[in-house]
Structure formats: structure tokens, C-alpha cells
Amino acid sequence: MTHPSGLLSAFLDGEVTGEEKGRVAGHLATCPACRDEFNDLTFARTAVRSLLVLDLPPGLLPSEGGVAGVLPHTRRPPVWIAAAAAAILALFISFATILAPPTTLEVRLDQLSDQYGARTSLEPAITPRPPVPVLERVAGPIE
């Protein structure tokens, strides 16, 4: 089989037939150059997928008529109502910030996968899984 460079991207996108998938996997098993290219593509895909996705500002979105950049004209409430609302909101946020504990529990993926991996090592498993990539583990005291 010639090098399936053109098929590697489609392979990773799940856009190849079962027969093509078998051919590509078989070729990758024997061709170090294609495997390097495959690993580079996998790395690039992972990097692209980890990029932040930003929404377009509303003013740049096309309107129903298909013209972008036109914001609807709205009537503003009186200034004193907005000021009072802002003051109440600021007071509320201040109290909430002072009194409330953090509402989010942050867990690292490797912490979760290590516990799962350690637990599954007690049982017969049908798939040896690749370890989850450790990006930047924070060193800490040993419990």
C-alpha cells in the first residue's frame, strides 16, 4: 500500500469506510514515517480542540434580513432606576462574596483517571488504556 497521507485526517475524523480504516491501521502498524505523521495530526487535533471558542458579539451576527452590524434600537429605562438596581446588586454581590464558600469543586482529570486506573487494576480488564496525558501536575505533600 502506498502512504495514505491523504486518508489520515479523514481516518481521525471518522470519515473512512471500514475497509479503508483497516488498510490505514494496518499500514500505520508497519510504517514509522506515517505513524509520525499520524501522531503529529493527533497532537494538532487535540491542540485545536482545546482552543477557547468565543461567541461573536451580537452586533456582528447577521440579522434576519441578512445584514450584519445593525443593532436594534431599544428604549432605555430612567437613569435612577438603573443606578438603584446597580447599587442593590453590588451590595448583594458583596455579601455573597464575603459569606459564601466557593461553589465549585475543581478536580483534575488525571486525579480522576488515576483513581479509576488504580481501582480497575484490582479487576481483570479487557482493554489496556493509555494513561491520560498529565499536563502540569501540581506537586504537593505526600498524604
Partner 1 sequence: MRRVLIVSSLAMVVIIGQALPALATDLGEYLERAAASEYSGEILVICDTPEGTVAQFVEVARSGGQLWVRSSSNEAIAANGELYQRAADGTVHATRIDSAAVWEVSPRYAPLEAGEARELERPVHVVTVMEGDVERVRLHFDDATGALLRSEVRNGDRSLYCSSSFVSFSEDSQSIDASVTQGTPDTAQIVDFSDIDEEALPAEVGGFKRLDAYQGPEDSTVAYYSDGVFSFTVMASRRAVRIPELEYAPITEIAGERYQRLFQPGLVVYAWESRVGGYALIGDLPLDLQVAVLSDLPRAGRPGFFARLWRSWFG
Q: Which residues here bind partner 1, judged by CB under 8 A?
A: 11-14, 21, 25, 28-30, 35, 38-39, 42, 45, 49-53, 96, 99-143
Q: How far is CA 97 from the centre of its chain?
A: 29
CB of 45 to partner 1, least distance (A): 8
The contacts of residue 131 (CB under 8 Å, 6+ apart) are 113, 117
Which residue's CB is nearer to partner 1, number 33 or number 142?
A: 142
Instruction: CB nearer to partner 1: give 67 or 138.
Output: 138
For partner 1, the closer of residues 54 and 79 by Cβ is: 54
Q: How far apart are CA 129 and CA 94, in angstroms?
A: 47
Question: Closer to partner 1 at the Cβ: 63 or 115?
Answer: 115
CB of residue 81 to partner 1, shortest distance in Å:
21
- The residues with which 68 forms a beta bridge, in sequence order, are 62
Nearest approach, Cβ of 6 to partner 1 (angstroms)?
16
Least distance from partner 1 to the Cβ atom of residue 29, Å: 4
d(CA 40, CA 143): 38
Grid coordinates representing 72 are 436594534
